[in-house]
């Protein structure tokens, strides 16, 4: 897009930077950029510095003690399991629906029909909805309406709710709805970046449209779709608001054994440790340790996504 | 994530290319499945709009009565404890399922007696007759018994349920404004620097570097604000309440920076290179070209960035829940503790009875939040659309 200025031009510009107002303002904006990066660096450094010490295999995978605030006994194994379970389950819902929607939108739907435009603007708006509203929706729709009617259907007359209470499945479904736009947008972007000539070539060779989409377009778009999936997972893993009322538990003696069980969660545990600890100073090592584990999970995924995206962009630039 | 910019499709319309070809039944089926899944996505999205609205609707329609008098109207005498179905008893006593399951018979009986006593005291308090979810009490001030002047109060769990939204709206706006005041100048300056002034090699890592900030989960930013930032800022400025709108706003600003930055940076980069080159050729410095030529051309995109940042800030939950102090005091002082709309839902929904007026009020807040973010999203999209129209018209 933007060709690098030639060496001579650049040299000339640097000398002209000396005009005092321009020099000052350039410095100011550069300073702002550095400040943002410095804040990011400070946050990460602070967390790594205080948290690295409490990381150990026992802390990450060990089972949680009833007294969650005692640094000697605390471990986050069940929370790691809960977060992983809800995120993996979410992926099972969001990837098929999100990718199909994107394929439909780019490859099949006519760009100008009312229903394509409606679907697009619905997806756009979904991306801006606050996460707590998804929590409300999850409680009102999945837990009460869907779960409640499942109970009435399967176990009529049973006063103890089985499906109609917060559960792993409802939390995952709520997150799947929340991350739907992430997957749709990333997949669409990946599909659109593929030159139309590839499709035409495939059709010209006698392939049907479906064959073209599945064997020519999708393999090319795979890295982009992967990026979308990773971003969705990373975003979902760190979210607390949507699962507050749809499935997370403060403490559970055992791991969730079925879809209708509640679960403990890493991100929620950060919230619990920072707001409910009886002695903040004493439980600080566990708190920092938990944050490090959570960041390793979400942040690492983000970095991977950014790297893949950069590579794909570079490759597509060569292709196009 | 900034919302995607869907403009004119870059793929020329090939959707009609393969029409009328030989149709294979399996492929036909697969394509229908694809359509069905896309349709599911649309249905689910519509369900959100419908469902949150549906739960809040009775309040809008004026069909809910939250007065204490109404609540105590029908009485189940304690002798009928065993005859009443448990679910009805639970709703009557206003307990959540967990609370109800944890209680033995004697406690339940006592609760029922307390209610009957309360009923006898109704005539003493004229507030007991007020339906507090009427719009007059939700928005306007009211002089409750025991107050010397009309006040705005959010106090849903007292005997008289006070549901005034004004303190929460002001709290949300306060935290959001602090966040924008902190984030917008920084993010815009960085966007100008990265897109116009930095050399291309630095740009390659500056941009993803700043966007990494978006990868920090909000609960981690909330934790950082609560544990580190609050103490640090209190030591620095020496104000009395440790958690307040300022701390929450700064932490919120950290979440807003990547949104504002990436939308603004996109807008600035989308201005054709020739604009700046023409200015440079006429002898301006890079800064002059960026400030006087590129920035004005990209202005709608900059507005979009600010509006989308606003939407992100007002909808953020965990940061404000953890770092704002959560006291619903009505004041515009950023050093007071605040309670925002989002934090109120997060903190109170677990304790409400499903279908009760408190539950419905929280959904009303949800609708309000939804409307605000919807509008800011719409405005953002409109600005981006204008930017595109402007640049394409002049190219």
Interface of A with B in 170-209 (CB under 8 A): 177, 180-182, 184-185, 188-189, 191-194, 196, 199-200, 203, 208-209
CA gap A144, A165 in Å, rounded: 7
pLDDT of residue B124: 65
Confidence class for position B34, pLDDT limits 50, 70, 90:
confident
The distance from CA B323 to its chain's CA centroid, rounded to whole angstroms, is 16
Q: Which residue on chain B is closest to A309 by alpha carbon?
A: B208
Task: Quote the minimal CA–CA distance from B33 to chain A in Å.
Answer: 9
Burial of A75 (0-12, 13-18, 19+ CB in 10 A): buried
Q: What is the pLDDT of residues B206-238, one digit of tens each?
A: 988 898 898 899 999 999 999 999 999 999 988
- The pLDDT of B238-249, averaged and rounded, is 89
The confidence score (pLDDT) of residue A167 equals: 92
Residue B283 has pLDDT above 70, yes or no: yes
Q: Is the ipTM of this complex over 0.85?
A: yes
B346 → closest Cβ in A165, A241, A284: A241
Q: Is the pLDDT of residue A2 over 60?
A: no
Residues of A in contact with B24 (CB under 8 A): 208, 210
3-state secondary structure of B154: strand
To 5 degrees, how large is the angle CA B146–CA B148–CA B154?
65
Q: Which of A181, A191, A183 is nearest to A214 (CA)?
A: A191
Residue A222 has pLDDT above 80, yes or no: yes
Tell whether the model's pLDDT for residue B61 goes beyond 50.
yes
The reported pTM is: 0.85
Look at residue B23 in the predicted model and tell me its pLDDT.
65
Minimum distance, in Å, between the CA of residue A63 and any CA atom of chain B: 23
Residue B31: closest C-alpha in chain A? A210
Instruction: Tell if the CB–CB gap between B51 and A124 is shorter than 8 Å.
Output: no
**Beta-carbon separation of A106 and B11 below 8 A:** yes
> Nearest CA of chain B to the CA of A226: how many Å?
17
Per-residue pLDDT tens digits for A142-158: 988 898 888 888 888 77
Determine which of B43, B223, B349 to mutate to test the interface with A (most A C-beta atoms within 10 Å). Answer: B223
Give the distance from residue B112's alpha carbon to the nearest chain A alpha carbon, in angstroms: 21
Q: Closest approach of chain B CAs to the CA of A142, in angstroms?
A: 10
Q: Is the pLDDT of residue B344 over 80?
A: yes
Residue of A33, A240, A302 lying closest to B206 (CB–CB): A33
Least-confidence region, from A7-16, A123-132, B24-33? A7-16
Write down the pLDDT at residue A156: 81
Based on the number of CB atoms within 10 Å of its own CB, is B157 exposed (0-12), middle (13-18) or buried (19 or more)? Answer: exposed
- pLDDT top residue among A21 and B184: B184
Mean pLDDT of chain A: 85
Find the radius of gyration of the CA atoms of chain A.
Answer: 25
Chain A residues 12-71 with CB within 8 Å of chain B: 13, 16-17, 19, 21-23, 25-26, 28-33, 35-37, 39-40, 43, 46-47
pLDDT tens-place string over residues A31-88: 999 999 999 999 999 999 998 888 888 888 888 777 778 777 888 889 999 999 999 9
Q: Distances in Å between the alpha carbon of A193 and those of A221, A273, B152, B210, B334? A: 8, 44, 54, 25, 46
Greatest extent of chain A over all pairs of C-alpha atoms, in Å: 84
pLDDT at A134: 93
Q: B283 in the Ramachandran plot: left (φ > 0), alpha (ψ -120 to 50) or beta?
A: left
Computed from CA positions of residues B97, B98, B104, B110, in that sequence, does the dihedral angle turn out positive or negative?
negative
Residue range B8-20, pLDDT digits in tens: 444 555 665 554 4
Enumerate the domain spans of chain A: 80-266
Residue B141 has pLDDT above 90, yes or no: no
Interface contact A113, partner B, CB < 8 A: no
Examine the pLDDT at A184 and tell me if it is beyond 90: yes
Tens of pLDDT along A224-249?
888 888 889 988 999 999 999 998 88
Average pLDDT of chain B, as a whole number: 84
Domain range A80-266, CATH architecture: Orthogonal Bundle (1.10)
Asked if A277 has any chain B CB less than 8 Å from its own CB, the reply is no
- Write down the domain spans for chain B: 24-61, 68-129, 131-164, 166-394
Residue A158 DSSP SS3: coil
| Dihedral sign of CA atoms B49, B52, B54, B57 in order | negative
Architecture of the domain made up of B166-394: Orthogonal Bundle (1.10)
Q: Which of residues 286-305 of A touch B (CB under 8 A)?
A: 287, 291, 294-295, 298-299, 302-303
pLDDT above 90 as % of chain A: 38
* A220: confidence class by pLDDT, cuts 50, 70, 90: confident
Q: Over range A147-171, report the average pLDDT.
A: 86
Size of interface A-B (CB pairs under 8 A): 323
């Amino acid at each position: 897009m933007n060709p690098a200025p030639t060496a001579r031009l650049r040299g000339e510009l640097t000398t002209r930077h000396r005009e005092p107002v321009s020099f000052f303002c350039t410095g100011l904006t550069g300073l702002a950029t550095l400040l943002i990066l410095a804040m990011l660096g400070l946050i990460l450094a602070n967390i790594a510095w205080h948290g690295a010490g409490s990381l150990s295999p026992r802390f990450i995978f060990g089972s949680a003690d009833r007294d969650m605030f005692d640094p000697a006994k605390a471990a986050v194994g069940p929370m790691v399991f809960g977060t992983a379970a809800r995120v993996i389950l979410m992926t099972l819902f969001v990837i098929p629906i999100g990718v199909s929607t994107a394929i439909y939108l780019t490859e099949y739907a006519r760009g100008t029909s009312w229903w394509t435009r409606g679907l697009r603007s619905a997806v756009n708006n979904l991306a801006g909805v606050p996460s707590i509203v998804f929590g409300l929706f999850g409680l009102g729709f999945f837990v009460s309406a869907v779960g409640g009617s499942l109970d009435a259907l399967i176990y009529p007359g049973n006063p103890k709710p089985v499906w109609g209470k917060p559960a792993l499945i409802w939390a995952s479904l709520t997150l799947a709805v929340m991350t739907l736009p992430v997957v749709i947008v990333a997949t669409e972007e990946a599909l659109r970046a593929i030159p139309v000539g590839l499709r035409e070539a495939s059709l010209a060779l006698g392939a049907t449209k479906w064959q073209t989409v599945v064997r020519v377009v999708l393999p090319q778009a795979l890295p982009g779709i992967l990026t979308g999936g990773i971003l969705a997972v990373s975003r979902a893993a760190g979210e607390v608001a949507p699962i507050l009322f749809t499935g997370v538990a403060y403490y559970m003696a055992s791991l969730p054994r079925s879809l209708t069980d509640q679960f403990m969660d890493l991100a929620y545990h950060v919230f619990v440790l920072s707001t409910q600890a009886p002695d903040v100073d004493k439980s600080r090592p566990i708190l920092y340790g938990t944050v490090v584990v959570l960041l390793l999970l979400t942040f690492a995924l983000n970095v991977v996504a950014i790297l893949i995206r950069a590579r794909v962009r570079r490759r597509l630039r060569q292709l196009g | 994530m900034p919302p995607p910019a869907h403009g004119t499709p870059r793929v020329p319309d090939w959707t009609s290319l393969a029409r009328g070809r030989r149709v294979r039944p399996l492929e036909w089926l697969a394509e229908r499945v694809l359509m069905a899944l896309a349709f599911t996505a649309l249905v689910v999205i519509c369900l959100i709009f419908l469902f949150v609205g549906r739960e809040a609707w009775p309040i809008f329609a004026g069909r809910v009565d939250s007065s204490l008098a109404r609540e105590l109207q029908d009485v189940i005498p304690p002798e009928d404890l065993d005859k009443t179905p448990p679910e009805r008893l639970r709703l009557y006593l206003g307990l959540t399922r967990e609370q109800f399951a944890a209680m033995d018979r004697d406690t339940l009986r006592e609760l029922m007696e307390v209610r009957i006593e309360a009923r006898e005291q109704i005539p003493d308090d004229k507030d007991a007759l007020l339906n507090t979810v009427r719009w007059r009490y939700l928005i306007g001030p009211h002089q409750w018994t025991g107050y010397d002047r009309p006040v705005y109060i959010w106090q849903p769990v007292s005997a008289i349920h006070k549901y005034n939204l004004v303190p929460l709206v002001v709290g949300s706006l306060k935290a959001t404004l602090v966040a924008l005041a902190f984030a917008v100048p920084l993010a815009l300056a960085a966007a100008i620097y990265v897109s116009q002034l930095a050399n291309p090699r630095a740009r390659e890592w500056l941009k993803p570097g700043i966007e990494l900030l978006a990868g920090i989960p909000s609960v981690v930013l909330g934790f950082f604000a609560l544990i580190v930032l609050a103490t640090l800022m209190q030591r620095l400025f020496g104000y009395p309440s440790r958690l307040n709108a300022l701390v929450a706003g700064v932490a919120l600003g950290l979440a807003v920076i990547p949104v504002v930055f990436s939308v603004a940076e996109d807008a600035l980069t989308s201005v054709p290179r020739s604009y700046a080159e023409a200015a440079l050729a006429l002898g301006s410095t890079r800064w002059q070209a960026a400030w006087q030529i590129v920035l004005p051309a990209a202005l709608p995109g900059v507005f979009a960035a600010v509006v989308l940042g606003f939407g992100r800030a007002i909808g953020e939950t965990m940061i404000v829940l953890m770092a704002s102090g959560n006291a619903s005091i009505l004041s515009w002082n950023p050093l007071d503790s605040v309670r925002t709309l989002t934090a109120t839902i997060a903190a109170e929904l677990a304790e409400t009875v499903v279908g009760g007026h408190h539950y419905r009020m929280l959904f009303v807040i949800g609708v309000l939040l939804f409307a605000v973010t919807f509008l800011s999203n719409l405005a953002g999209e409109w600005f981006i659309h204008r930017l595109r129209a402007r640049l394409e018209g002049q190219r």
